[in-house]
Amino acid sequence: MSKTKVGIINVTGYAGVELARLLSKHPTVELTSVTGRSAAGQPLGKVFPHLSNIDLTITTELGDVDLAFSAMPHKESAKEIIPLLKKGIKIVDISSDFRLKDPAAYPAWYSFNHPGPELLNEAVFGLTELHRSEVASARLVANPGCYPTGAILAFAPAVKAGIIKPDIIVDSKSGVSGAGRTLSLNTHFAEVNEDVSAYSLEGHRHLPEITQELSLLNKNMVPNITFIPHLIPMTRGILTTGYATLVPGKLTEGPKGKDELRELYRAFYKDEHFVKVVDFPPHTKYVSGSNFVLIYPTIDLRTGRLVVISAIDNLVKGAAGQAIQNMNVMLGFLEWKGIDAPALYP
């Protein structure tokens, strides 16, 4: 049986290289083309020694593939993708260029006018757990941002069930790889090691994704979200701690309500391979290198608040792993094919 040919546009960032790592061991696809401007002409395994077993040279132009992952920066990605779609190549876009449905969001949040606004409705927001059937028939999937993946999955069951009020606080703690491979003082070792700080307090670009998706889950609710990301001294992982006030009367008061809450979450995710609703506060270490998501919903009984915590690996479920999960669905493979390895612990 011949394998499906896939390619990676801009393999040289952390999402691109993580795609290559995972795709190189995927049983039913073959990675046949990787592009990257700065490193064009070099063997992939020379630029990234951990990939030396992949026999590919980085090129400027994408080769002949059935499906391509774009790991280009936003704005650049749409430009690369649109011609490929026309050629009939299926696309999973890791960038943010097709995540937001509202064309006006691009100039507002990303400072550019979208070059293909007519595609925004067609593009499927690839949080697989929420849009599986649309992903299955899509030719263009917009892979979610890393923070939105953790935040939306944490709140989706509660929003859908209408058990919380719309005032939502999302406090996320991310490893530094989320900031990419581009050099910056914020990611300079001596600055970020032994340090923690919040950033993007004026509004992080991942906020509209979170708002859009939570809004879709419940027509009776207009979520009012404050989202504050933090950078912490580790490489991989995002822990999201979410807070919201429970609507009185939906869950039994007292400890029993906690059990009902957990059951509600478990029911919501009962068919999901990658989402595990747990009964302890999750650690990002438990999902490092894997596509799994751990979610712990609980109630602060003193105040009647939902506290929900999710842990993901920002480069796997938050980027490359989920992209392959989407690819699997698009191509009709088993959803967890090639991405069901357990986390690397410790």
99 in contact with a second copy (CB under 8 A): no
| Beta carbons of 227 and 147 less than 8 angstroms apart | yes
- Rule CB under 8 A: choose which of 2, 61, 183, 270 binds a second copy: 183
**Strands 224-231, 197-198: pairing kind:** antiparallel
Binders of a second copy among residues 143 to 172 (CB under 8 A) are 167, 169, 171
Q: Which stretch binds a second copy (CB under 8 A): 56-64, 72-80, 120-128, 224-232?
A: 224-232
Nearer to a second copy, 219 or 302 (CB): 302
Distance of alpha carbon 339 from alpha carbon 346, whole angstroms: 19
Residue 23: name the closest of 72, 65, 61 by CA. 65
- Rule CB under 8 A: choose which of 28, 283, 331, 337 binds a second copy: 283
Residue 323: name the closest of 46, 70, 52, 40 by CA. 70
In the complex, minimum distance from the CB of residue 314 to a second copy, in angstroms, rounded to a whole number: 11
Residue 87: name the closest of 139, 38, 51, 147 by CA. 139
189 in contact with a second copy (CB under 8 A): yes
- Rule CB under 8 A: choose which of 28, 42, 218, 298 binds a second copy: 298
Nearer to a second copy, 93 or 313 (CB): 313
- Rule CB under 8 A: choose which of 3, 37, 181, 256 binds a second copy: 181
In the complex, minimum distance from the CB of residue 170 to a second copy, in angstroms, rounded to a whole number: 10
Cβ burial of 125 (10 Å; 0-12, 13-18, 19+) is buried
188 in contact with a second copy (CB under 8 A): yes
Residue 10: name the closest of 182, 135, 127 by CA. 182
Q: Which amino acid is at 247?
A: V
209 alpha carbon, distance to own chain's centre: 11
113 in contact with a second copy (CB under 8 A): no
Q: Which amino acid is at 43?
A: P
Beta strands in 37-163 (DSSP E): 58-59, 67-70, 90-93, 124-125, 140-142
Binders of a second copy among residues 303 to 342 (CB under 8 A) are 303, 305, 307, 309, 311, 340-342
193 in contact with a second copy (CB under 8 A): yes
Helices 128-136 and 146-161: crossing angle in degrees, nearest 10, is: 100
Nearer to a second copy, 132 or 273 (CB): 273
Residues acting as catalytic residues = 146
241 in contact with a second copy (CB under 8 A): yes
In the complex, minimum distance from the CB of residue 89 to a second copy, in angstroms, rounded to a whole number: 26
Question: How far is CA 115 from each of CA 73, 78, 104, 139, rounded to the nearest angstrom?
Answer: 14, 7, 12, 18
In the complex, minimum distance from the CB of residue 165 to a second copy, in angstroms, rounded to a whole number: 11
Binders of a second copy among residues 19 to 78 (CB under 8 A) are 21, 24-25, 48-54
216 in contact with a second copy (CB under 8 A): no
